[in-house]
Amino acid sequence: MQQGTQHTYIVGDVHGQLKKLEKLLEEAGLIDHKHHWHGGTSTLWFMGDFVDRGADGIAVVDLVMRLQKEATAAGGMVASVLGNHEMLLLAAYRFGRRSTGLGSNFISRWKMNGGNRKDLASLTTAHLEWLANLPPMAFVANRLLLHADATFYIKYGRSIDEVNATFAKLLHRSDTLAWEELLEEFARRGAFYHALEGEDIARRFLNIFGGQQIIHGHTPISAVLGQQAKKVTAPWVYAQELCVNVDGGMFLGGPGFVYRLSPVA
C-alpha cells in the first residue's frame, strides 16, 4: 500500500474461510503478515455472511472486529452490512428449537443453511451485540451496499436510515414471527438479473435509496454465470453497470477477491 492513499475496498461473502480472507487482505496490503491493520486511513467494507458453510465463521468475525478497532485507531474504517447468515445464527442462538410458525424451528433452519456447531458454541455477548448491530444497508462512495440481490428491503423503510432502524429494532426484539418473515425474504435472490425488468428494478431501487450503483453479495457469481468458483477473481458488473456482484463463492472453492472501488464524481 502506498503511503497517503485513501481507497475504499469491498470483500464479499467469507462464510468461515479465515485463511483465504487473511491471504486476500494481506495481498491487498490491508493487513500485515501478523494480520494487523495496515490499511492506514483506507476503508474496508464487508458484505456480510461471515458465518456458516465454512469452518471458522466466528474466527472471521473476531478478525473483523479486531481490525475494526485497529483501523479506527489509524484513522481508517472497517465495517460490514448484515448478511442473512448472521441473522440465521442469531436466530438459532436466541430461539433454539422454538417453532418458526412455519413447520420448522430456528436451529433446523440454521443447520439446513450450513450452520456450524462450533460457531454457535463460540458466540459471546460481544459477538451477539456486534452482529445484531450490523446495518443491512450502507451508502459508500456513492454506491448502495446491501447483502442480498433482493428487493424486500423496501418493505422495511424508504430510506437507508429507515431500513437500518427497522432492522435494528427487529433484531433487538424476540418476535419470532417477524424474524421468520425476514429470514424468508432474506433468502431471496436474483432481483436485478433479468435483462430489462432487472435493470428497471435496480434503477428504481437506486432512485429511492440513492447511489449510482448497487453493490451486493449473497449469490455466488459462479452460480449465476455457470463457471467454476475457483476461476472467479473479480466482481461481476451487470444490469447496464447498475449492479456489482462481489460474491466470489469462497465456500465453493473460490479464492475470493478484494474489490477496490474507483472514485466517482
Question: Taking the complex as a whole, how short is the minimal distance between the CB of residue 243 and Mn ion, in angstroms?
Answer: 16
Question: Taking the complex as a whole, how short is the minimal distance between the CB of residue 74 and Mn ion, in angstroms?
Answer: 30
Indicate the residue among 42 and 219 with the shorter CB distance to Mn ion: 219
Q: Is 84 in the site for Mn ion (CB under 5 A)?
A: yes
DSSP per position, the chain? --TT---EEEE---TT-HHHHHHHHHHTTSB-TTS-B--TT-EEEE-S--SSSSS-HHHHHHHHHHHHHHHHHTT-EEEEPPPHHHHHHHHHHHHTT-B-SSSSBHHHHHHHTT--HHHHHH--HHHHHHHHT--SEEEETTEEEESSS-SGGGGG-SSHHHHHHHHHHHHTS--HHHHHHHHHHHT---TTTSHHHHHHHHHHHHHHH--SEEEE-SS-HHHHHT--GGG--S-EEETTTTEEE----GGGT----EEEPPP--
Report the DSSP beta bridge partners of residue 7.
Answer: none
Enter the DSSP assignment of 253.
T
Question: Taking the complex as a whole, how short is the minimal distance between the CB of residue 202 and Mn ion, in angstroms?
Answer: 18
Question: Taking the complex as a whole, how short is the minimal distance between the CB of residue 146 and Mn ion, in angstroms?
Answer: 11
Indicate the residue among 51 and 63 with the shorter CB distance to Mn ion: 51
Question: Taking the complex as a whole, how short is the minimal distance between the CB of residue 33 and Mn ion, in angstroms?
Answer: 31
Indicate the residue among 26 and 181 with the shorter CB distance to Mn ion: 181
Q: Which stretch binds Mn ion (CB under 5 A): 58-66, 71-79, 202-210, 218-226?
A: 218-226
**Phi and psi torsions of 193, nearest 5°:** -80, -40
Question: Taking the complex as a whole, how short is the minimal distance between the CB of residue 13 and Mn ion, in angstroms?
Answer: 6
Question: Taking the complex as a whole, how short is the minimal distance between the CB of residue 257 and Mn ion, in angstroms?
Answer: 17
Q: Which stretch binds Mn ion (CB under 5 A): 42-50, 60-68, 100-108, 224-232?
A: 42-50
What 3-state class would DSSP assign to 79?
strand
| Binder among 218, 221, 251, 254 for Mn ion (CB under 5 A) | 218
| 99-128 binders of Mn ion (CB under 5 A) | none
Q: Which stretch binds Mn ion (CB under 5 A): 81-89, 198-206, 225-233, 252-260?
A: 81-89
Instruction: Please state, in angstroms and rounded to a whole number, the distance separating the CA atoms of residues 123 and 134.
Output: 16
Position with the least CB separation from Mn ion: 218
Indicate the residue among 80 and 84 with the shorter CB distance to Mn ion: 84
Indicate the residue among 83 and 136 with the shorter CB distance to Mn ion: 83
Q: Is 49 in the site for Mn ion (CB under 5 A)?
A: yes
Indicate the residue among 84 and 116 with the shorter CB distance to Mn ion: 84
Q: Which residues bind Mn ion (CB under 5 A)?
A: 49, 83-84, 218
